[in-house]
């Protein structure tokens, strides 16, 4: 999908309306960078005029402080590490597009690219919609190898989803055919393969020699990383209708937090699958067929003895990881994965609002509404926003219309944007100071 001039102009208008020049030093390919001539088209901001959520007047008046940015050499699985708590990452002050490489087949009218890339040991691994896994050099984008994980007995027409994780010297891949495959990261050679009873649309989570996956029928499986043997299984409530996709569980050495499309959030003992506690993020005030779905599509987070999770049914919670007691709850819904940084949480809501929440009590610190529609007047062509990611004091979100937008994590005000070669419906990742995007057209785009 190539972005139309009108769509580019609509989104680039954020710069003309809201962004000071001094805040855009990370941008290379907008008209505030090298190409200073504005694109033709009507100027409409990517920011919406108002929001449904409001900042809580009782939120702390103290200055918002974040942990300092820290470098990370790898992004080995969905959400970064198995706990999904990445806090504050490092990227350079003057990012420029470094390289672009094609992964394979991207999204179409019938299939969606749902698998984010991972980074480990100087290599980037990515999967296209046809279950083809490729490895690339992190510095240059050169493709090193590619392997097709489509089983011989399948025609590949019903592919969608799956995911990747690197741990213990192995690359693990899940596919919509229900296969879990361990690969040699150096050459893509299959080391073992396990076939589960139903499809897998979420990435695996790897921790302490185990692999945890959630199937489409809400079962959590724990496998031995060495040989693929199933160690234990937990059955959640099977849900007949759900939102497209799935999400990876969170794990530390002792606990696995399994998110289900039923809205269940279940804590399991990592060793044997014993249920420690269970909660429900089921829909409350929503009543129509789609908005009433209770799916947990954003990855849960384990951070300093707490679990943070948000459901589509307008429930966001903080839970004590040991007891299962709710620390707080709030009427906030979303399908994107929250981001925790120190004492604050950031997330994108169902109404396309980026919000900052105090992690200790759930109070909203600030709200920045984004455009929900390409045609805002007629409310046609919804925009998918993905993220956020926090790196070097920039909160980065991406859009299905092909923009990466940087907001201030302290105020929510826009800082700048960069135009992608295509829409970006998956959150970016970062390693070694390099910011990576996977477009809907299956292009890896690296900024350094």
Phi and psi based region of residue 412 (left: phi greater than 0; alpha: psi -120 to 50; beta: remaining): left
Comparison of pLDDT for 51 and 108, the residue scoring more: 108
Average confidence (pLDDT) over 124-130: 95
Identify the pLDDT of residue 246: 74
Identify the pLDDT of residue 92: 86
Computed over every residue of the chain, the mean pLDDT equals 85
Q: 253-293, pLDDT tens digit by residue?
A: 999 999 998 899 999 999 999 999 999 997 654 444 344 45
CA 344, CA 412: separation in Å to the nearest integer? Answer: 13
Which domain covers residue 240, as residue numbers?
Answer: 5-447
Identify the pLDDT of residue 157: 52
pLDDT band with cut points at 50, 70 and 90 for residue 36: very low
235: pLDDT strictly greater than 70: yes
125: pLDDT strictly greater than 60: yes
**Cα atoms in the Cβ-side hemisphere of radius 13 Å centred on 335:** 22
CA 287, CA 292: separation in Å to the nearest integer? Answer: 5
Average confidence (pLDDT) over 388-393: 98
pLDDT band with cut points at 50, 70 and 90 for residue 159: low
Please give, one letter per residue, the 3-state secondary structure of 11-79: HHHHHHHHCCHHHCCCCCCCCCCCCCCCCCCCCCCCECCCCCCCCCCCCCCCCCCCCCCECCCCECECC
Identify the pLDDT of residue 153: 63
Residue 231 near residue 188, CB atoms below 8 Å? no
Q: Quickly count: other Cβ atoms within 10 Å of residue 60's Cβ.
A: 13
Helix (H) or strand (E) holding 419: strand 414-419
Comparison of pLDDT for 84 and 152, the residue scoring more: 84
Average confidence (pLDDT) over 222-246: 80
Residue 252 near residue 271, CB atoms below 8 Å? no
10: pLDDT strictly greater than 50: no
CA 181, CA 178: separation in Å to the nearest integer? Answer: 10
CA 263, CA 231: separation in Å to the nearest integer? Answer: 25
Output the CA–CA distances (angstroms, integers) from residue 66 to 52, 125, 221, 409, in the order listed: 26, 30, 36, 9
Identify the pLDDT of residue 198: 77
Identify the pLDDT of residue 38: 42
As a whole-number percent, the residues of the chain with pLDDT over 70 amount to 82
> Which backbone phi and psi does 195 adopt, to 5 degrees?
-105, 120
Residue 163 near residue 127, CB atoms below 8 Å? yes
Number of domains in the chain: 1
Average confidence (pLDDT) over 3-21: 40
Q: Which domain CATH number covers 28?
A: 2.130.10.10
Identify the pLDDT of residue 284: 54
Average confidence (pLDDT) over 339-349: 97
Phi and psi based region of residue 402 (left: phi greater than 0; alpha: psi -120 to 50; beta: remaining): left
134: pLDDT strictly greater than 50: yes
Residue 15 near residue 404, CB atoms below 8 Å? no
Q: pTM for this structure?
A: 0.88
361: pLDDT strictly greater than 80: yes
Residue with tokens 């695996």: 204
Q: Which two tokens stand for residue 26?
A: 């990370």
| CA dihedral of 292, 294, 298, 299, whole degrees rounded to 10 | 180
CA 436, CA 448: separation in Å to the nearest integer? Answer: 9
């Amino acid at each position: 999908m190539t972005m139309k001039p009108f769509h580019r102009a609509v989104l680039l208008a954020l710069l003309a309306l809201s962004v000071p020049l001094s805040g855009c030093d990370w941008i290379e390919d907008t008209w505030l960078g090298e190409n200073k001539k504005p694109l033709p088209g009507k100027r409409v901001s990517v920011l919406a005029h108002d929001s449904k959520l409001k900042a809580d007047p009782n939120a702390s008046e103290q200055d918002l402080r974040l942990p300092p940015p820290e470098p990370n050499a790898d992004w080995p699985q969905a959400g970064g590490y198995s706990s999904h708590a990445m806090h504050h990452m490092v990227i350079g002050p003057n990012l420029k597009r470094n390289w672009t490489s094609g992964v394979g087949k991207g999204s179409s009218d019938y299939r969606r690219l749902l698998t984010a890339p991972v980074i480990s040991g100087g290599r980037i691994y990515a999967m296209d919609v046809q279950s083809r896994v490729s490895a690339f050099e992190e510095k240059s984008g050169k493709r090193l190898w590619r392997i097709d994980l489509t089983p011989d007995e399948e025609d590949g027409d019903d592919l969608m989803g799956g995911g990747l994780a690197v741990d213990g010297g192995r690359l693990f891949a899940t596919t919509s055919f229900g296969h879990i495959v361990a690969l040699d990261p150096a050459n893509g050679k299959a080391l073992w393969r396990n076939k589960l009873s139903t499809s897998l649309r979420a990435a695996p989570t790897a921790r302490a020699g185990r692999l945890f996956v959630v199937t489409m029928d809400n079962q959590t499986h724990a496998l031995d990383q060495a040989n693929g043997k199933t160690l234990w299984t937990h059955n959640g409530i099977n849900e007949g209708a759900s939102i497209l996709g799935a999400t990876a569980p969170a794990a530390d050495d002792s606990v696995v937090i399994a998110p289900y499309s039923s809205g269940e959030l279940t804590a399991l003992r990592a060793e044997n699958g014993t249920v420690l506690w269970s909660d429900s993020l089921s829909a409350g005030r929503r009543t129509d067929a789609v908005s009433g779905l209770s799916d947990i599509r954003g990855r849960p987070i384990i951070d300093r003895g707490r679990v943070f999770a948000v459901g589509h049914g307008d429930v966001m919670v903080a839970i004590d990881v040991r007891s299962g007691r709710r620390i707080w709850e709030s009427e906030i819904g979303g399908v994107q994965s929250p981001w925790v940084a120190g004492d604050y949480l950031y997330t994108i809501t169902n109404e396309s609002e980026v919000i900052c929440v105090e992690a200790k009590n759930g109070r909203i610190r600030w709200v920045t509404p984004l455009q929900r529609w390409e045609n805002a007047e007629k409310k046609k062509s919804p925009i998918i926003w993905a993220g956020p990611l926090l790196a070097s004091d920039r909160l980065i979100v991406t859009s299905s219309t092909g923009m990466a937008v940087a907001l201030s994590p302290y105020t929510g005000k826009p800082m700048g944007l960069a135009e992608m070669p295509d829409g970006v419906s998956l959150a970016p990742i970062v390693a070694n100071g390099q910011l990576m995007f996977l477009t809907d057209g299956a292009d890896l785009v690296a900024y350094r």
